[in-house]
Amino acid sequence: KAGVTQTPRYLIKTRGQQVTLSCSPISGHRSVSWYQQTPGQGLQFLFEYFSETQRNKGNFPGRFSGRQFSNSRSEMNVSTLELGDSALYLCASSPGTSGIETQYFGPGTRLLVL
Amino acid sequence: AQSVTQLDSHVSVSEGTPVLLRCNYSSSYSPSLFWYVQHPNKGLQLLLKYTSAATLVKGINGFEAEFKKSETSFHLTKPSAHMSDAAEYFCVVSTSEGYQKVTFGTGTKLQVIP
Query: Is some CB atom of chain A closer than 8 A to the CB atom of B3?
Result: no
> How many percent of chain A have pLDDT more than 90?
72
Return the pLDDT at B100.
64
- Asked if B94's CB is within 8 angstroms of A100's CB, the reply is yes
pLDDT digits (tens, 9 = 90+) for A9-34: 999 999 999 999 999 999 999 999 99
Please state the rounded mean pLDDT for residues A35-55: 89
Closest residue by Cα to residue B2 from B24, B22, B18: B24
> How many percent of chain B have pLDDT more than 90?
65
- Asked if A106's CB is within 8 angstroms of B92's CB, the reply is no
Parallel/antiparallel/unpaired status of strands B73-78 and B64-68: antiparallel
d(CA B55, CA B44): 23
- Amino acid of residue A22: S
Determine the number of helices (DSSP H) and then strands (DSSP E) in chain B: 0, 12
Asked if B56 and B66 count as a contact pair (C-beta separation under 8 A), the reply is yes
Own/partner long-range contacts of A43-49 (Cβ < 8 Å, ≥24 apart): A43/A90, A43/B44, A43/B90, A43/B104, A43/B107, A44/B104, A45/B102, A46/A76, A46/A89, A49/A74
Chain B residues touching A97 at Cβ < 8 A:
none
Query: Is some CB atom of chain A closer than 8 A to the CB atom of B107?
Result: yes
> pLDDT: is A114 or B101 the higher one?
A114
- Asked if A4's CB is within 8 angstroms of B44's CB, the reply is no
Q: What is the band of A98 on the pLDDT scale with cuts at 50, 70, 90?
A: low
Query: Is some CB atom of chain A closer than 8 A to the CB atom of B27?
Result: no
Closest residue by Cα to residue A8 from A26, A24, A25, A21: A21
pLDDT digits (tens, 9 = 90+) for A99-114: 677 788 899 999 999 9
Chain A residues touching B9 at Cβ < 8 A:
none
Return the pLDDT at B102.
81
- Asked if A98's CB is within 8 angstroms of B96's CB, the reply is yes
Nearest CA in chain A to B98: A56
Please state the rounded mean pLDDT for residues A31-54: 90
Shortest Cα distance from B79 to chain A (angstroms)? 24
pLDDT digits (tens, 9 = 90+) for B30-86: 888 999 999 987 788 999 998 877 889 999 999 999 999 899 999 999 999 999 999
